[in-house]
Structures are given as C-alpha cells and as structure tokens.
Amino acid sequence: MSRRRLAAVAALTLLPGTALAGTAHADTSEITVGICAPYAISNVGSVDACGSQSLDALFTGLTEYVPGTSGSRYAVAQSITTKDNRVYYVTLKKGWRFHDGTEVKARNFVEAWNQVASTKTDSSFLFEEIEGYGKPKMSGLKVTGDHTFTITLSAPLGVFVKRLSMTAFSPLPDSTLKNPASFQKKPVGNGPFRVASWSPSSESVVERFDGYPGPKPAVARIVYRAYRDDNALYAALRSGDIDFTSLIPSTKLATFKTDLGGRVISRPGHVNQMVTFPAKVAANADFRTAISMAIDRETIAREVFGGDRVPAHSFVPPTAEGSRRDPCGQVCTYNPNKAREYLAKALASGFRPPAVLPLYYNADSAHGEWVKRVAESVTKTLGGKVKVVPKSLRTFSAFRNAVIGERLDGMFRASWQLDYPHIQNALAPMYASDGLSNDSGYRNPRFDALLRAADRERSSAKAIKLYQQAEALLVRDLPAIPLWVNGQQAGFSERIAKVGLTPTGWLDPMTVKLA
C-alpha cells in the first residue's frame, strides 16, 4: 500500500451505524454529497478520504489538476521555474485572497508547508525531498519577497512540481498559522468555496466564494453529509436525498448502474494490486512469467469482485500521468500454452521450483477468496508441476512484519495506492534499489539509472519516456505480477447533468453541472 494507509482503508470501509440526519436541497443551486465520517481533519495535510473531499473545495495551491485529467496547470502560481530540477523559483499571482480577505503571500505557503511537514500528518512525507525536512523550519524553503519564494530539494526531482496540486501544499492564512487549532473549528481557505458551517462528523456546508479569481463553479453550495452505514448512504442516493457519492457498497456493484438509471461513473482507479516475489524466492524470470501467464485475471476479477476490479496490464495505474494502455502485453495476459512453455524453458535452464509455493496474505481483510482463486489458476494451468498454496497470517501487522523482515518463503499479495497521479510514484517507491516500499528486494542498476535520468530531465515529456523505459525493465524482470486495478465508482442524482472525479476518485466540484 502507499504510505497513506489510513486513506486507503477509509475509502474502502464504512463504519457501522446509521445515517446522520440532514435536509437536502435547500437551494436549487445546491447539491448534497454523501461521504463517510472522517477520523479527523487537523490541517491541510489530512488525507482521510472521508474528509478530504471538502478540503479540496476550500483550498487552491500553486497548481491545480485540470478537470478530467492527471495533468496540472498554474493556479496561485504565476510561474515555477528551475534550471536543474533541484532549485525552484516560485512567483505568485498578486491579489489572490483568502476567504477572510487577507492576501495570499509567499510566507503563507512556506509557513504552511513547514507546519504540515513538522506535525507529521498523513501527508508529511510528501515534503521529505525538501532540504531540512524533519526540522521545524525546512532550510530548503526561502521567502524572497511578498510574492516570491524558492524551493531547494536535496536532489533533482522534476516530478516534485506534479505534487503541488495536492491539498497538502495549500497556503494557510496568517490567522491559522498563528493559531493552528482554529483549523479544526473552521478552516479558512483560498479556494472556490468557503465554509458556511463546519461539522465534518455530521454535516458541513460550503458556499461559492465570489471573490475567487480562478474558474467559477456552477453550483452555489455543497453539503457534505457524513454517513456511518454504506447501505443507508446508497439508499439516500437512490431516493434523491443526496446527489452524489463515490462510495458505492461492494454488494451493489452488480446492480448500481441499473439502480441509478445509468447515472454513474465507473473507471479504473489509482490502486494496483499484485503478487510480489521476494528476491530469494523464484529467482528465475521465465518461471515468474509462467506464473503470471497462468493467472486468469479476467475470470477472477469478474467472479470475485463483481466489476470492482479490472485486469492490470501495467505496473502503473491508469489514472497516473505517463501510464500506458498495455505495456505488459502477453506477460500479463492469461495464456495457458505460453505459461507452460515458459515453465519448460525455466526447467530446461536448470531452475527447480519449490514443491509447494506459498502465496501469503493477511486474514483480517477480504483477500482470501481471490488468493485462493489465483493459487488454483496457477496450479491447474501448470498441470500441478507448480503447486501454489494460500497461506494466511492473522493480522495485517503480522503480515507486514513478516514481509519487511524477509521471513516469507513464498509469494505475497501487495498493493500500491498512488500518492500523486504520476508514473514516477508507481515505480520509484516500490522498485528502486533504495525505494521505501521495495518489498521484493528488486535491484537493477539500469532501472535506477533511468529513474535518476528522468528525475533530472527538465522536459516533462522526455522524463515520462525515461520512466516508461524503466517500466519496460520491470516487465522483463517481473519482480512482481500486476493483477488488477481497483475501480472507482460514483453515482449521482437526476439533478446533476454532468460531473467528474478528481484523480483520487473524489467529487471534482468544479465539474458539476446541474440539470
């Protein structure tokens, strides 16, 4: 998983209980959005999926995501320039104001970033490449004028700019910087909406900020209503008590398109699931390819997940900038004959697979069924010459400790949720030799060199091509097997004519058009 584990868990599981009371549609230019009850929203670094949707509406950073894409454009920034991808020179647009009327200045970004990074929120790691990370005030951030500041990284990283559309990089007004606790009572932002009432655990209301200098939203008000039961939330959507939710219960995925009269969004998301090989296990690329081609992804995804997963043909989720449709090709395609050919090739080279190959998973989450099906698919396809056996560890904590401690003698399930929508974030953390989440122990100097070259490349297009070359090495070496991509589903009411999702799968309030 990504380093934002709480966000991933919150997005997939709703708490038991009942819906909180509320009144829908007080205004014809108002929509009501159903969310899950957030854990906490302490500052802009909070990435709890249940609460971050409202923060997206309240804040605007140096850049913003272009609706419907993973690309970004300038927002508060007038320009961001660099000569070496290490030192960035930022100039702000003048006159941009917070909802309290004060002007957005360079210090509001610098001091806010220091606050988020130093308070160790779920997003604090996003700042770790800045010089001085870990100290109350990062030495890599320097205010050089009312509307200018510099960012100095510890090493070149061109993709750093791609992170700046994330809410964690938003500015904070002087009032919040002086009194951080005030954020929890009533956040003051600089985005297209401002707070009308704030109670994230029950119901918060934001209203259009007429002083916003960017593109104006079409809706005047958004009510974010928290539900503690997924079925109650879904019932509210069907009845028209809410107008939008991106939390469709897994039990409704088979029927929700019909239930909602086609008023749905269904697309591949930003979480890749895979099977990973430790470096000491199955140390033969042909053997790993045989395993991959022996997995019937299409059937398992359809029968086990009911449409909530789509087979993966890449190491990069499709919502990431730089992703491609099918770089994995036949290696990630079920082909029994080819699978047996690759197994024969591995055996002919002298490789001897273990008599029993375990596939580990944690038993405290819903992985058992698909792991069993994957094991059966491989064992049957390879004629019993390789016997894959599911093995569970009782808790996620025990499972992760075994993975990190390199105590597993077989394959194990893994997943990666993008921290930000770019190909670099799908490759470097999991497969670079020094990657923080490199659980396979993959080491390839050529792969590392391509990543470093891409990090230094000032042309975004050229950098992406280098990252894609690095992904091609993963397809060849196969330290992990891509299985499927989690889906992003949402439903909306008859009152909405058009709506889109952010790269993270949440409501993009700037895309809402009323019927």
Based on the domain organization, do 236 and 364 belong to the same domain? no
User: How many Å apart are CA 301 and CA 307, to the nearest integer?
Assistant: 7
Give the dihedral sign, CA 8/11/16/17: positive
Domain boundary among 124, 152, 187: 187
Residue 49 has a pLDDT of: 63
Residue 424 located in a structural domain: yes
Q: Where are the alpha helices (DSSP H) in 349-490?
A: 368-381, 396-404, 423-431, 445-456, 460-477
- Three-state DSSP class for residue 207: strand
User: How many Å apart are CA 320 and CA 70, to the nearest integer?
Assistant: 6
Query: pLDDT by residue (tens digit) across 127-142?
Result: 999 999 999 999 999 9
Based on the domain organization, do 362 and 277 belong to the same domain? yes
Based on the domain organization, do 176 and 225 belong to the same domain? no
Query: pLDDT by residue (tens digit) across 200-227?
Result: 889 999 999 999 999 999 999 999 999 9
Residue 195 has a pLDDT of: 96
What does the pLDDT average to over 70-88? 95
The total number of structural domains in the chain stands at: 3
Query: pLDDT by residue (tens digit) across 463-491?
Result: 999 999 999 999 999 999 999 998 889 99
Based on the domain organization, do 334 and 295 belong to the same domain? yes
Residue 47 has a pLDDT of: 64
Residues in contact with 277: Cβ distance below 8 Å, sequence separation at least 6, in sequence order: 288, 411, 440, 478, 479, 480, 481
Based on the domain organization, do 286 and 435 belong to the same domain? yes
Based on the domain organization, do 24 and 165 belong to the same domain? no
Domain boundary among 187, 211, 236: 187
Query: Does the pLDDT value for residue 458 go beyond 50?
Result: yes
Q: List the structure tokens of 54.
A: 């409202």
Which CATH number characterizes residue 336's domain?
3.10.105.10
Based on the domain organization, do 2 and 100 belong to the same domain? no
- Poorest-pLDDT segment among 148-162, 228-242, 298-312: 298-312
| 350 burial level (CB within 10 Å; 0-12, 13-18, 19+) | exposed
pLDDT band at residue 196, thresholds of 50, 70 and 90?
A: very high
Based on the domain organization, do 340 and 323 belong to the same domain? yes
Residue 24 has a pLDDT of: 43
Based on the domain organization, do 500 and 470 belong to the same domain? no
Query: pLDDT by residue (tens digit) across 271-295?
Result: 999 999 887 777 799 999 999 999 9
Query: pLDDT by residue (tens digit) across 331-367?
Result: 999 999 999 999 999 999 999 888 899 999 999 888 9
Query: pLDDT by residue (tens digit) across 257-277?
Result: 999 999 999 988 889 999 998
Based on the domain organization, do 29 and 151 belong to the same domain? no
What does the pLDDT average to over 417-440? 92
Query: Does the pLDDT value for residue 329 go beyond 80?
Result: yes
Residue 112 has a pLDDT of: 96
DSSP strand pairing (387-393 vs 356-362): parallel
What does the pLDDT average to over 101-117? 96
Q: List the structure tokens of 21.
A: 């009371």
Query: pLDDT by residue (tens digit) across 52-67?
Result: 788 989 999 999 998 8
Residue 278 has a pLDDT of: 85
Residue 23 has a pLDDT of: 40
Which CATH number characterizes residue 44's domain?
3.40.190.10
pLDDT band at residue 40, thresholds of 50, 70 and 90?
A: low
Average of per-residue pLDDT values in the chain: 89
Residue 197 located in a structural domain: yes
User: How many Å apart are CA 447 and CA 430, to the nearest integer?
Assistant: 12
Residue 36 located in a structural domain: yes
The DSSP string of 290-337 is: HHHHT--HHHHHHHHHTTSEEE--SSS-TTSBT--S-TTGGGGS--HH
Query: Does the pLDDT value for residue 254 go beyond 50?
Result: yes
- Core vs surface per residue 142-176: b (16+ CB within 10 A) or e: ebeeebbbbbbbeebbbbbbbbbbbbbbbbbbbeb
Query: Does the pLDDT value for residue 123 go beyond 90?
Result: no
Residue 28 located in a structural domain: yes
What does the pLDDT average to over 373-398? 95
Residue 98 has a pLDDT of: 98
Query: Does the pLDDT value for residue 106 go beyond 70?
Result: yes
What does the pLDDT average to over 157-168? 93
Residue 144 located in a structural domain: yes
Based on the domain organization, do 13 and 135 belong to the same domain? no
| 48 burial level (CB within 10 Å; 0-12, 13-18, 19+) | buried
| More confidently predicted of 24 and 173 | 173
pTM: 0.87
Which CATH number characterizes residue 178's domain?
3.90.76.10
Residue 19 has a pLDDT of: 38
Based on the domain organization, do 145 and 205 belong to the same domain? no
pLDDT over 90, % of the chain: 72
Residue 263 located in a structural domain: no
What does the pLDDT average to over 229-246? 94
Look up the domain containing 375 and give its range: 268-487
What does the pLDDT average to over 390-404? 94
Residue 170 located in a structural domain: yes
What does the pLDDT average to over 99-116? 97
Residue 215 located in a structural domain: yes
